Amino acid sequence: MRSAVLIVGTIAMRSLAYSGWSKSDIQQPDDPREHIRELQRKWGSDWAFSGIPTFGHLDHVHCLTEPDEHFDIGIVGAPFDSAVTYRPGARMGPRAIRAASTRHLPSRSFHPNAGVNPYRSWAKVLDCGDIPITPIDNVVALRQMTEALTELGSRAAATPDHQARPRLIIFGGDHSLSLPALRALKAVHGSPMAVLHFDAHLDTLHPSSYPYSWASDAAEFNHGSMFWKASREGLVLNGSSVHAGLRTRLSGTDWTTYDEDDHQGYLRIYTDDIDRIGVAGIVDLIRDRIGMDIAVYLSIDIDVLDPAFAPGTGAPEPGGWTSRELIRILSGLRDLNIVGADIVEVAPAYDSLGGDTALTAASLAYEIITTWVLKGLAVNGGTKVRGMDGGAVGSPANKQEL
């Protein structure tokens, strides 16, 4: 046995010698920190197609089980679709968006229009993982999402001189998650939010709009009535909120659905309005309605886009905006006081082979994160933040305006 060990050891050392290595080459250096730096230099980066698929190759921490973990911007998955009224599948959305974001390498994420790399600026941006949400009890699921988002949103930010509380961007999941998000924001900020809602559908529907007669409290929690419920709970700042991108059919035989929406105080911007007033006009309508100081919750249902750009969703509606138009609208709204956001209804089972819907959702998330980083720079340095359609952005003096 001893002879066998000696033979194996001799063969191993000879193999090292034949490969150009000696025993001294595998010894630890005197300075462990230098060794770590060398390992990081050699092995510390990924290609777009390698590594574990966190969002944009960001560091991953299961923030809900790490109460001492602080961050400035957190990506949180809410894999829940048990409140849909048509096609399910959005519970797989957070995973699909992360997989589609693999080309968002932190080392290659400088935003040429914003003049900043949001992952190499002041903000600590983490992928906080998913909320483990039950798919078989919507009452418990609502509680789980509310408690999780309240806990995460209540932490002190990692960089308090830029912002007091962290910002959360939530990947859905179906759109019902906006209700627990608004409950959490009300608990954290102590006041209702203006809602900036991009969607083909109103989502302020009275629950009786759906064709069922077995009413219950649980039935009120669905992905078309969550803003109706949020308004009834005093979570939405009526008179300052906006729907944008609307193009849906209504219930009944008249405009009663709009009357209900009017009672909740939303401005309605329709998809076709962009043909009349353009991107800049849409931006102006939203900014004039909301203002620059009010706390805003941004909610993007991916079906606001035409199915040509986002086929992978549960309730597609032809005739929507292009992804370019939506990105330009978002960039024009960078000076809004957005304190939380979601991107919902990405359902990869219906997506194209290339995952175009998830790819677009990942790009929208990048735009939101960039907006928050710019906002933090403005707060700390007094720089005026403006978007593509509002003037120059970024620090380079010679940057051309679009």
Binding site per annotation, positions: 175, 199, 201, 203, 301, 303
225 vs 83: CA distance, rounded Å: 10
DSSP 51-103: S---GGG--B--GGG-TT---SEEEEEE---TT-SS---GGGHHHHHHHHTTT
356-381 vs 323-331: helix axis angle to the nearest 10?
10
* Max Cα–Cα distance, the chain, nearest Å: 92
Residues facing 337 on adjacent strands = 295
The C-alpha R_g of the chain, in whole angstroms, comes to 24
SS3 content of the chain, % helix, strand, coil (to 5): 40, 15, 45
| Residue numbering of the annotated binding site for Mn(2+) | 175, 199, 201, 203, 301, 303
Q: How far apart are CA 378 and CA 109, in angstroms?
A: 20
- Residue located via tokens 């086929």: 311
Which of the 8 DSSP states describes residue 197?
E
Identify whether the C-beta of residue 267 lies closer than 8 Å to the C-beta of residue 289.
Answer: yes
For residues 50 and 315, give the distance between their C-alpha atoms in angstroms, rounded to a whole number: 33
